[in-house]
Amino acid sequence: MATDQTLAWAYTEDLYVESDVVTQARRLAGEFGISCVSPATGALLRLLVSSTGVASIVEVGTGTGVSGLYLLANGDVTLTSIDVEREAQHAAREAFSKAGVRSGRTRLINGRSADLLPRLAANSYDLVFLDGDPLETPEDAEEALRLLRPGGILVVARALAGGRVADPARREDDVVAIRNLGRELVSSPDLETSVVPVGEGLLVAHLL
């Protein structure tokens, strides 16, 4: 069974052929030591945005722009993206430009999510994508729920920590933080949720 699941996971990831711009951003991320959303995760993010009429997005964890390229792929979506790594954000800005994204559609803010999310306007965004420090993600999620409009979507990356969350013997701080957050969101009466075992796991929550 586990082998079948591993094969299914690899098959799903291999289905997607990425554009040259995404491939280049992924390669640069490797040089920065930044891990990016997987191709199948990117495809799901793109689908979420295009199929739900999302117009305004906040992202924590710009990296070199891989996830941003997927979030910006369709329509006239605007992206506010936060990262502590200035150089990586410069690379992301270049990637967005190469992909033909108008500069007015992106706002890249350098700094920590804990400092910056509280400065963004409440009830103003359609989707918040959290892919920063897993230890800070629970607090970021609280802020994200404040930022979202009713009907908005919260997406938490690496929600299964690549499988570690499912193993109760794993008690590392990042695993415990993400495991507890996942349980909290899934049991919230204010949210409709799905945990998708794509990439390192994606938790999607719809604010009711």
Ligand X SMILES: C[S@@+](CC[C@H](N)C(=O)[O-])C[C@H]1O[C@@H](n2cnc3c(N)ncnc32)[C@H](O)[C@@H]1O
Sketch the per residue contact string, 135 through 174, with ligand X: x for CB under 6 A, - otherwise.
-x--------------------------------------
# of chain residues touching ligand X (CB under 6 A): 21
Contact flag: residue 112 with ligand X (CB under 6 A) = yes
Site for ligand X in 118-137 (CB under 6 A): 131-133, 136
Sketch the per residue contact string, 71 through 90, with ligand X: x for CB under 6 A, - otherwise.
-----------xxxx--x--
Q: Are the C-beta atoms of residues 76 and 56 closer than 8 Å to each other?
A: no
Q: Which residue in the set 21, 37, 145, 155 belongs to the binding site for ligand X (CB under 6 A)?
A: 37
Contact flag: residue 99 with ligand X (CB under 6 A) = no
Q: Are the C-beta atoms of residues 117 and 147 closer than 8 Å to each other?
A: yes
Amino acid (1-letter code) at residue 116: L
What's the min distance (Å) between Cβ of 140 and ligand X?
A: 8
Other beta carbons within 10 angstroms of residue 196's beta carbon come to 15
What residues contact residue 137 under an 8 Å CB cut-off, 6+ apart?
A: 60, 130, 156, 177, 178, 181
Which residue stretch of 43-51, 63-71, 177-185, 199-207 sits at the interface with ligand X (rule: CB under 6 A)?
63-71
Q: Are the C-beta atoms of residues 101 and 72 closer than 8 Å to each other?
A: yes
What's the min distance (Å) between Cβ of 114 and ligand X?
A: 6
The CA distance from 62 to 154, in Å, is 16
- The strand pairing partners of 110, in sequence order, are 83
**Structure-token pair, residue 49:** 């945005």
Positions that interact with ligand X (CB under 6 A): 29, 34-37, 60-61, 63, 66-67, 82-85, 88, 112-113, 131-133, 136
